[in-house]
Amino acid sequence: MNALASTHRNFRHAARLLNLDPKIEKSLLMPYKEIKFECTIRKDDGSLVSYVGFRVQHDNSRGPMKGGIRYHHKVDHDEVNALAELMTWKTAVVNVPYGGAKGGIGCSPKDLSVVELERLTRVFTHKIHDSIGVNIDVPAPDMGTNAQTMAWISDEYSKLHGYSPAIVTGKPIEMGGSLGREAATGRGVVFATEALLEEHGKSIKGLTFVIQGFGNVGSWVAGLIHERGGKIIAVSDVTGALKNTKGIDIPALLEHKETNGTLRNFDGGDMINADELLIQECDILSKKGVIILPDIYANAGGVTVSHFELVQNNQHIEWDEETVNAQLKKYMTRAFSSIKSTCRTHECNLRMGAFTLGVGRVAQCTLLRGWGC
């Protein structure tokens, strides 16, 4: 089952729990707008190359659409549609005033120079500039993109529409980005974990963890768990997996990864096959028979702090990082409480509780807005 089919399955399950009218169900499932286009650039050697770009805007009943732009060779129509739909439910779960969108280019960023990436980003911006806007659709970074990518989009869009710092989030701090944004998704995962553990009378301190992925999100999760006294016994990235049952020295590993770009050759653990990571014994890991935090809730820290970034841009102020982090914890904790309440009402697990909460909020807004004439 691909990502789009899986997302639709969860949506339909939530729709049944909510007893949605079939007309509403059909309306919520159908994207607001889908854009597919060609991005042609001149490479540094003078040759021309073309890539396929996408922007899918799923729903705007709760506010402007919001979602990342990813550069990856496997970006395709179904993936972007699924991620746009998930953003709709995710923003509703944490109750920030946006709908869902997603975009991307089917390319391999590592095969492009910085100059070529800038050219590609500016062409991409030209293709979508008349379909995005601070009150329409606000992009953000995703896999293969970063604050620099957002800076190029902001600059290119501003050439066409005038100075528009709020056209993207995840920008460099110097261009109106928010403090705490880089760590936001990882920090949100930790706050979600703390909310779940607190319900069971536990805390991160003294528990063992396995973390799949050691990029921006995974490394922040590891660092924050380590700070709180958790013991991380295994981590992985695209180069393999590392295990130390006595606990990995996370600060040392972060320094090693920063210097070498890989987990390999770190002397504080043993390399294992990446497939073995998910069968390591630990306290926190998704497997059959344990409680699973739904991804549309657990990874919502990024879009939540993106919301804070837009608030700061629109009010022409800057929050300190302590304020950003405190507000993020408030939103994540409140969302967990709402998910649990939904689970009790509809007698479902956390995953379906999150989907049902998100779908229900969007459906309610759709009905309140009416169908027009």
DSSP 91-115: HHHTT-S-EEEEEEE---GGGS-HH
User: Which backbone phi and psi does 11 adopt, to 5 degrees?
Assistant: -60, -45
185 is in an annotated binding site: yes
Half-sphere exposure of 302 (CA within 13 A, CB side): 27
Distance CA 299, CA 294 (A): 9
In a domain, residue 226? The reply is yes
Candidates 69, 80, 34, 65; CA nearest to 134 is 65
Low-confidence residues of the chain: pLDDT under 70? 1, 278, 281-284, 286-290, 372-373
Indicate if 47 and 170 belong to the same structural domain.
Answer: yes
Number of domains in the chain: 2
66 is in an annotated binding site: yes
User: Could you list the residue range(s) of the whole structural domain that residue 95 is in?
Assistant: 32-175
330 is in an annotated binding site: no
Domain end marker among 228, 263, 298: 298
Distance CA 145, CA 36 (A): 19
pLDDT of residue 287: 41
Residues whose CB falls within 8 Å of the CB of residue 16, separated by 6 or more in sequence, listed in order: none
Indicate if 81 and 197 belong to the same structural domain.
Answer: no
Residue 330's CB is within 10 A of a number of other CB atoms, namely: 12
Distance CA 202, CA 50 (A): 53
CATH number at 70 reads 3.40.50.10860
In a domain, residue 364? The reply is no
Candidates 151, 5, 139, 8; CA nearest to 70 is 139
Using alpha carbons only, how large is the chain's radius of gyration in Å?
Answer: 21
In a domain, residue 319? The reply is no
Distance CA 365, CA 359 (A): 10
Residue 6's CB is within 10 A of a number of other CB atoms, namely: 12
Candidates 206, 218, 259; CA nearest to 242 is 218
Indicate if 85 and 44 belong to the same structural domain.
Answer: yes
Indicate if 167 and 123 belong to the same structural domain.
Answer: yes
Indicate if 152 and 255 belong to the same structural domain.
Answer: no
Written as six digits, the tokens of 51 are: 């890539």
In order of 15, 150, 275, the CA distances from 145 in angstroms are: 34, 8, 27
CATH number at 244 reads 3.40.50.720
In a domain, residue 259? The reply is yes
Written as six digits, the tokens of 364 are: 């309610």
In a domain, residue 90? The reply is yes
Sheet containing strand 240-243, strands side by side: 208-212, 231-237, 240-243, 270-272
In a domain, residue 95? The reply is yes
90 is in an annotated binding site: yes
Which run of H or E residues covers position 211?
strand 208-212
Length of the chain: 373
In a domain, residue 229? The reply is yes
Indicate if 47 and 171 belong to the same structural domain.
Answer: yes
Indicate if 133 and 218 belong to the same structural domain.
Answer: no
Indicate if 203 and 257 belong to the same structural domain.
Answer: yes
Q: Which residues are catalytic?
A: 102
pLDDT of residue 239: 81
Indicate if 138 and 191 belong to the same structural domain.
Answer: no
Domain end marker among 251, 277, 298: 298
In a domain, residue 347? The reply is no
Residues whose CB falls within 8 Å of the CB of residue 132, separated by 6 or more in sequence, listed in order: 55, 138, 139, 157, 167
Measured CA angle at 229 (ends 227, 232), to 5 deg:
90
Indicate if 96 and 162 belong to the same structural domain.
Answer: yes
Indicate if 170 and 201 belong to the same structural domain.
Answer: no
